[in-house]
Amino acid sequence: MVFGNVGTLSFNCGVTAHLEKMEYVQVHHETSGWVLGQVSEIVRKTNLTVEGVEEIVHGTPVPIDEKEIAVISIVGFRDDRNLLQVPRTPLKAGEAVYRADEDLIKKVVGLHENTDTGAYIGLLSGHDIKVELDINTMVQKHVSILSKTGGGKSYCSGALIEELMKHNVTVCVIDPHGEYSSMKHKGVVKKTIRDFGVSPRGYEDKISEFATDTNINKGAKPLKFTLHNLDAREILGLTNIKNVRSFLTMLRKAVDTLKQTKGNYTLSDVITYLEKSGEASSGTLVSELEYLNEVDVFAEQGTKIDELIQKGRCTVINLRGTPPDIQELIVNRVGNALFELRKMGKIPPMMLVVEEAHNFCPQQGQVACSKVFRTIASEGRKFGLGLTIITQRAAKVDKNVLSQCNTQVILKVTNPNDLKAIASSIEGLTQGMEEEIQRLPIGSAIITGGGVSMPLLVEIRPRESRHGGESVEVIPSRRM
């Protein structure tokens, strides 16, 4: 029952049944009808004193009187126009508080189960209600998945990608660690207390994997780029040469000549040309280019975009084994190609998923692909190019990009700077939720946006396919 001083935003009630933090309750309001509330805190009041503790320790039993009190935040109700409202007058003391009815939760929170455009991401914590994020909203308004390392970002993004694949949405994953090709294989769905209704499934038939280094990433198709569209300055930008100016003329001459005589040219051609030119200072440039050439991503024939991106399929771009500077360049080229081709309608509307986004669109400093992410984040929605940003350092991701991500999946975060960055980018995040984020167990997330009207605590569903990001043990532990 409601007791004590009653406010319009929250109230206290006595607890006589099992009740957990974040659970939903309902209570009747005299003019608004059934109102939904959420448990924000539970206190157990006891009469045990420190003296009593001493007595118990010394063997004298002391009767303990205890009562549970819950603090409930009012979520609201739907009015006759189906708008979310909160009552403008306090509830009456003595009103009974019940565990909320599933239909009321769904109605007030705005959840719809088994819809055509919903991505099933998990169950509402404490209730058997599926949380489905609207795929159109996610593509149009972008997604971010944030947590500290090991918080479950890749696991969760995998679940999201499974849903996109099931709905035949075209996906491209930028995968710096080679974690996503495991989605081709069936996973193991462990028995849990809660039944998520998930059965193992592999997505071999839906995934195309491309890798920059096919020696260590067997089974992937090679990803190649022509040098065709790179000018001399861009090539120099890929090298470690600081004094760009002194080599620019030399390289420009080589590139221009090769363009005219050969059309499609490779780095080897540039190297041969420079060596033949006999210029005394070309040595440094040649050795830098030889380093690039070893990376093996530049070739006469590049991977065709219509081979790379196919309607309804998920392309994994596996960058494992490729140096960061080259990764940035590749991501830049892929990002630009997707944006331009999407603009012209030459590829289907799609989702671009970026792991380790702090490396590709950092808040501080510029990398090769910084600009393209700003462009996709701000203009992608017009063209149906969605972005999913995954990072363990929210504070280190370009604010211009992160602030455009309207669907946020927040797993456990403890770093104060990251918490600040997250809190400042979410609407409707209460103080209580900020505390909650630091204490989230693995597998739970606070999700906002995605067509849902308020932040929700969600237990992420198990994966159908195999998760590739398992931690490596230094000393193998013996599992019971």
Ligand X SMILES: Nc1ncnc2c1ncn2[C@@H]1O[C@H](COP(=O)(O)OP(=O)(O)O)[C@@H](O)[C@H]1O
Residues at the contact surface with ligand X, assessed by CB under 6 A: 147, 149-155, 442-443, 460, 462, 467, 469-471
Six token digits for residue 193? 């207390």
CA distances to 235, 269, 296, 302, 370 from 323, in Å:
15, 22, 11, 19, 17
Interface with Mg ion, residue 468, by CB under 5 A: no
Q: Give me the least distance between CB of 428 and Mg ion, in Å please.
A: 27
Q: How far is the CB of 457 from ligand X (least distance, A)?
A: 13
Check if the beta carbon of residue 124 is closer than 8 Å to that of residue 22. no
470 binds, among ligand X, Mg ion, none (CB under 5 to 8 A by kind): ligand X
- For 436, the 3-state DSSP assignment is helix
Dihedral of alpha carbons 244, 249, 250, 254, sign: positive
Contact partner at residue 425 from ligand X, Mg ion, none, CB < 5 to 8 Å by partner kind: none
Of Mg ion, ligand X, none, which one sits near residue 442, judging by CB under 5 to 8 A according to partner kind?
Answer: ligand X
Location of structure tokens 């308004």: 141
Measured from the CB atom, is 149 or 431 closer to ligand X? Answer: 149
- Of the pair 77, 155, the CB lying nearest Mg ion is at 155
- Based on CB atoms, which residue is closest to ligand X, 228 or 439? 439
- The site partner of 155 among Mg ion, ligand X, none (C-beta below 5 to 8 Å per kind) is ligand X
Query: Do 402 and 394 contact (CB within 8 A), yes or no?
Result: yes
**Token code pair at residue 169:** 């949405």
At 306 the three-state DSSP class reads helix
Rounded to a whole number of angstroms, the minimum distance from the CB of residue 387 to ligand X is: 18
Q: 72 vs 145, which CB is nearer to Mg ion?
A: 145
- Scan residues 127-166 and list those touching Mg ion (CB under 5 A): 154
Shortest distance, CB of residue 138 to ligand X, whole angstroms?
Answer: 19
d(CA 273, CA 286): 10
Question: Would you say the C-alpha torsion 12, 15, 18, 24 has a positive or negative sign?
Answer: negative
Using alpha carbons, list the distances in angstroms from residue 58 to 49, 50, 66, 394, 441: 14, 13, 22, 52, 38
* Shortest Å, Cβ 190 to ligand X: 8
* Interaction partner, residue 171 (Mg ion, ligand X, none; CB < 5-8 Å by kind): none
* Residue that is written with structure tokens 């306090």 in the block: 90
By beta carbon distance, the residue nearest Mg ion is 154
Query: Which candidate, 88, 76, 135, places its Cα nearest to that of 453?
Result: 76
Q: How far is the CB of 462 from ligand X (least distance, A)?
A: 6
Among ligand X, Mg ion, none, partner that 152 touches (CB below 5 to 8 angstroms by kind): ligand X
Would you say 232 or 352 has its CB closer to ligand X? 352
Q: Which lies closer to ligand X via its Cβ, residue 154 or residue 407?
A: 154
**Angle subtended at Cα 199 by Cα 195 and Cα 202, rounded to the nearest 5 degrees:** 150
Cα dihedral 191/192/194/197 (nearest 10): -30
- CB-nearest residue to ligand X: 152
Supply the minimum distance, in Å, between the C-beta of residue 390 and Mg ion: 7
CB nearer ligand X, residue 119 or residue 385: 119
Name which of 275 and 470 has its Cβ closer to ligand X: 470
Chain positions contacting Mg ion, by CB under 5 A:
154, 469
